[in-house]
Amino acid sequence: MSRLPALTLLALALPLDSCAPSLPTAPDLSPVLQAYAMPTAVVDGTIMAEFAEEIAEAAEEIENSELLDEILDLLVQVQQDLEASTAKACNGGANDGNACTNDAGCPDGTCVTTGDLVLSATCSGGENDGDACDVGDVTACPNGTCGGGVVLPSPTGAVNVSYVCPGWDERQFDEDYDDSPDPANGAIDLFLTVVHGDIGAVVWGTADECQYLVPIEGDSCDAAGCFRESYDGGIALDLGPSWVSEDISELPVTFILEGNIGFEGDDFRINQSFRVVLADESFLEILVDIGDPALSETFNYIIAADGQGIRDATGVFGCSLEERRCFDESGILFSW
């Protein structure tokens, strides 16, 4: 996975009031999520004969591209930035009302989020007077206080996040590399809903010729070189209802991409929804849409470490694109 550069912009989390600019509307991903949960197609040999090659090509393009890792790493960093910029205070106990980081700082009380998001805060007084600080870090301003900046009480709206992509310079994996953002490398612009300092499940936006490197072996290009990859097009994803409370790398994340994936000089058009789990590189679940209108007839093709399979209206059964057949415990169901 390529190294994620620092965010170039964390735009304001915009509260919904009469003075705020209009926010883009989040896409409704519920029909896609419903299609995953309740596939309606009944798959047979005729259907697989028509769509097997398309499934195999989509799987190869998705597995070769680490755009997904780039985006999810970006979201993890944004969530960390939001948490650090969210004020917390003791509720009850000896330190009631005092700033805190966790419950350990609140004897006989709890450390709770006040609901305020504070951006561009600085230290007032003390050893670090005038330095930038995070209101969620009670150690940032010894003998002083962290405040000022832009305070957004209980923001409910959206955050616009932009970052310049790392590009194709192989030196980016070196510790002493100057990773100053270069607009020539392309960029990703995302919108995220924010409620009480946490990112909502739906994220959407665009990539503008985002360029990044994928090491063929190891964590750099030294061993076997790197693949040059890029993405240009639309992005939407659903992180699921429990992602804030759980490790994002362990959760299935639903993606929808509509654009062009670049791989070593070749461009591949993609208009596809799929699910991945970062911690399980072998897992991929592709939504296969065979109906007209869209999403009226779908099934899921699953690729995992222990084999391949299909989830359709009849249930789940094994399948192999290489052997051109599907099967269950009783034997071969059909071939093509």
Extract the tokens encoding 320: 């192999």
DSSP-derived letter for residue 132 is B
Q: What is the pLDDT of residue 5?
A: 40
Q: State which residues of the chain have pLDDT below 50.
A: 1-18, 20
Beta bridge partners of 318: 309, 327
Give me the residues paired with residue 247 across strands.
none
pLDDT value at position 21? Answer: 52
Cis peptide before 31 (omega within 30 of 0): no
What is the DSSP secondary structure assignment for residue 173, as one 8-state letter?
A: G
Beta bridge partners of 268: 261
Structure tokens at 258: 């509509």
Residues near 22 by Cβ (< 8 Å), separated by ≥ 6?
A: none
Q: Are 294 and 35 in contact (CB under 8 A)?
A: no
In this structure, are residues 80 and 12 in contact, taking their beta carbons and an 8 Å threshold?
Answer: no
What pTM was computed for the model? 0.77
Q: Is 82 left (phi over 0), alpha (psi -120 to 50) or beta?
A: alpha
Write down the pLDDT at residue 325: 98
- Cβ neighbours for 114, distance < 8 A, ≥ 6 positions apart: 86, 87, 88, 89
Structure tokens at 75: 């979201």
E strands in 57-197 = 86-91, 110-119, 122-124, 145-147, 150-153, 156-164, 187-195
Q: What's the pLDDT score for residue 11?
A: 43
CA distances, 8 to each of 129, 177, 234, 254, 301 (Å): 24, 17, 20, 26, 38
Are the C-beta atoms of residues 1 and 68 closer than 8 Å to each other?
no
237-288 pLDDT per residue, tens: 999 887 776 777 788 899 999 999 888 888 888 889 999 987 888 899 999 9
Find out whether 143 and 160 touch, Cβ atoms under 8 Å.
no
Contact yes or no for 62/272 (Cβ under 8 A): yes
Q: Output the average pLDDT for the chain.
A: 84
What is the separation, in whole angstroms, between the first and last Cα of the chain?
37
Q: What is the pLDDT of residue 153?
A: 60
Alpha carbon distance 178, 53 (integer Å):
43
- Look at residue 61 in the predicted model and tell me its pLDDT: 84
Query: What is the Cα–Cα distance from 326 to 45, expressed in whole angstroms?
Result: 8
* Cα distances (Å, whole numbers) of residue 280 to 265, 285, 288, 303: 28, 12, 21, 11
